[in-house]
Structures are given as C-alpha cells and as structure tokens.
Amino acid sequence: MSYSFGNNFKITLFGQSHSKEIGIVIDGVKTGYKINYDLIEKNLDRRRPGKNKFSTSRKELDEFKIVSGEVDGITCGAPLSIIIKNKDQKSEDYENLKDHPRPSHADYPAYVKYNGYNDIRGGGQFSGRMTAPIVIAGSIAEDLLLKRNIKIISKIKSIGQVNDVDLNYEDLNNDEFYNLKSSYFPVFDKFSKEEMQKEILDAKEKSDSIGGIIETAILNMPIGIGEPFFDSMESVISHAIFSVPGVKGIEFGSGFEAAKMFGSYHNDSYYYDNGKVKTKTNNHGGIIGGLSTSMPIIFRTAIKPTSSIGKAQETISIKNKKVENLKINGRHDPSIVPRAVVALETMTAIAILDLVIEGEKWKI
C-alpha cells in the first residue's frame, strides 16, 4: 500500500472518509520553523464544503490538531502529525452500496483488491475528503516555498463548455491574478464566472454533475530544478496531481496543441531581459528536459464530473450476479472543480518543495 509521497518533504496520509479521524504525517520540516496557522486556515476555508449552493451540504469544519512535531507552534525535529475529526458523516446512506458498486467510483476494483473488506462509506480512503489533510501539509509546503519567493496560483479555466479568458504574461505578475487565491471560485472574467456557475446549477437541477479544467502557474522557480529521468519536473508534478481524486488528465505549456505545431513555431526563442535569460514564448511551459527554466511553469488539469449523481444508473449486484438499477443517496457536489483548486495547489506545493530541497543539495 502506498499512502506516502515525497523524499525530502515526505507526507503519509491516513484515515477514510467516514473514519473517526483522518490525518497526515509530515517528515522533512527543519527545526525552528514557525507554523503558519493563518495560511492553513485560509486554504482549508477555500476547500470547505457546505458554504454555498455549488458544493455538497456535508458541513465538516475541518478543525485540525497538530499532535506531535511542534512546541508552541515551532517545529522541534520530530515528524509533524496532524489529525482532523470527522463529525458530519451519514454512513447509513452507503449501506446499499456494499452490494451495488457505484459507476465510475473505486467501489468494485477496491472490493476485489481488498477481498470485500473495503470501506464503502463516502468512498473510504478514495474519497475527496482525504484532500483535507493534504491541504494542511500543502499549506506548510506553500509557506516554505513563499519564503523562497516561489508562488503557486490556480484559476478555473473552464466548466463544461464555458471558458475563462486565456492567461498571458502580464496577468501572471499583477495583483489581480494573485488575489484569485482568496476566491472560492477563481475566474478572471466576471461574465465567464456567471456562465460557469449557471452550468453547475443546471447540472444540479438535472440531478447530474459537470467537470472542468483548472490552470495552475508556478512563479519564480529557480533554474535547473528537477531530477531526470524519472523525477523530472513533469513526472513529479503529474504523480502528485493524479493523487487528487477526480483528476483525469494533465498537460504542460502548449500541451496537446504542440502535436499540431511546426517546430519553428513551437520552439521558444531566448533573449536577455535586464541580464536575465528568458524566452519570448512559453510553449515549453517552464520545463525543458525535465528541468525548470525560470519561465512560469504552466499546466492544466482535467477534472471529471462528480461520479455520485442523483439520476438512476445501471450497476450490478455482486451477490445476485445480475444488472440492477441504482439510485445514489447522500450529499454530493454537482461539480468538484471549485473545491479541487486548492487541493491541486497544495499538492503541487508538496511536489515542488520536495524537488526544490533536492535541488538545493547541488549547491556548493
């Protein structure tokens, strides 16, 4: 079983969606670091459900407790152990699902893998609920990156067929872009935001769900971070991002559009800007040869529609070995895209910090 990620900044996740507690253990934070509780609370508030009509009504407060690794809010060298109590479970909603695996959930492969002993309640260890402790660990990673002037910012690029305006270099360096981090629904264009929200509410009205794309930018990365071949920047970021439930795809820079380009158009020409080497375009998305280039690292993540929907669907009865109809009860997001933003940002922070610490070992 693999519930751990990272080498220099290592996290180990534990718990299930409806267990008494969920939590995370963090190894690799140096002694003397003052934990930024304000940033943790801010990020948890961004992912907290039950706050508006676009999310599930499950109202977990995400109140966390650091039970080891710190004294008076300052790290002491022992691993940081953090727990969150689950208080708003409705496990009875899942009783019928032990015999009826939900379409597009991990229920059936988990049933086979764990010999029928998998925790079906709320998706068990496969639930998006497990991103709450990830957000805590990622907030610590984000704070340690900010001390190195490295920033990670995301926005919703699309919901269904509705798109926000495209990013450009000027956007990346202004306060308006960074202020998106304070928004539950981070979109540049006001009209696009309204249309996206209508898409979500329309899906909800139809007892359905809808997906979207999240675009992430990593700014002020040092040059040469990454460990080719198998710990390249793209490899580690992708590994981290696919750990977030609901992710179905990722692309860097020009991504799949690169397959349609000539090399003369796709190649990014170098130039000097006040003595600093930059490129005139950024089709490479800030990464070449698995190494950071100092240009903004840009990637986009595809998020699937929420698998739990109110419409009746066909599934099987494992016991009776026949096809049956399934109506899923419980409380679910009509779109997980808004709450996935902070999960992707903080998981990215964990991956980037791990690579940055490794890169710092090369310094003489």
Please check whether residue 100 is in contact with residue 326, taking contact to mean a CB–CB distance below 8 angstroms.
yes
DSSP tag of 77? S
Neighbours of 97 (CB within 10 A): 19
The predicted-structure confidence for 241-294, as pLDDT tens digits, reads as follows 999 999 999 999 999 999 999 999 999 999 999 999 999 999 999 999 999 999
Burial 162-177 (b: 16+ CB within 10 A, else e): bbbeebeeebbeeeeb
Neighbours of 92 (CB within 10 A): 10
Mean pLDDT over the full length of the chain: 93
Burial 307-325 (b: 16+ CB within 10 A, else e): bbbbeeeebeebeeeeeee
- With both helix axes pointing from N to C terminus, report the angle between 337-360 and 233-241 in degrees, rounded to the nearest 10: 140
The predicted-structure confidence for 53-77, as pLDDT tens digits, reads as follows 666 655 656 899 999 999 999 999 9
- The reported pTM is 0.95
CA distance linking residue 138 with residue 286, whole number of Å: 21
CA distance linking residue 304 with residue 306, whole number of Å: 6
Whether 1 has a pLDDT exceeding 80, the answer reads no
Please state the rounded mean pLDDT for residues 158-176: 85
Q: Say what the pLDDT of residue 261 is.
A: 98
Q: Say what the pLDDT of residue 95 is.
A: 76
Angle at 46 between CA 41 and CA 48, to 5 degrees: 85
Q: In the numeric block, which tokens belong to residue 22?
A: 């969920």
Whether 208 has a pLDDT exceeding 70, the answer reads yes
Residues 6+ apart with CB under 8 A from 198: none
Give 90's pLDDT tier (boundaries 50, 70, 90). Answer: low
Please state the rounded mean pLDDT for residues 177-184: 88
Please state the rounded mean pLDDT for residues 24-52: 90
Whether 50 has a pLDDT exceeding 60, the answer reads no
CA distance linking residue 63 with residue 145, whole number of Å: 24
Percent over 70 (pLDDT), the chain: 93
Pick the residue with more confidence: 121 or 78? 78
Best CA proximity match to 132, nearest among 202, 68, 233, 61: 61
Please state the rounded mean pLDDT for residues 292-307: 97
Helix (H) or strand (E) holding 86, with range, is none
Q: In the numeric block, which tokens belong to residue 85?
A: 């109590």
Q: In the numeric block, which tokens belong to residue 252?
A: 């860097």
Please state the rounded mean pLDDT for residues 136-155: 97
Neighbours of 263 (CB within 10 A): 7
Whether 360 has a pLDDT exceeding 80, the answer reads yes
Q: In the numeric block, which tokens belong to residue 197?
A: 């929200």
Whether 316 has a pLDDT exceeding 80, the answer reads yes
Whether 10 has a pLDDT exceeding 80, the answer reads yes
How far CA 238 is from CA of 153, 265, 268, 290, in Å, comes to 17, 26, 23, 12
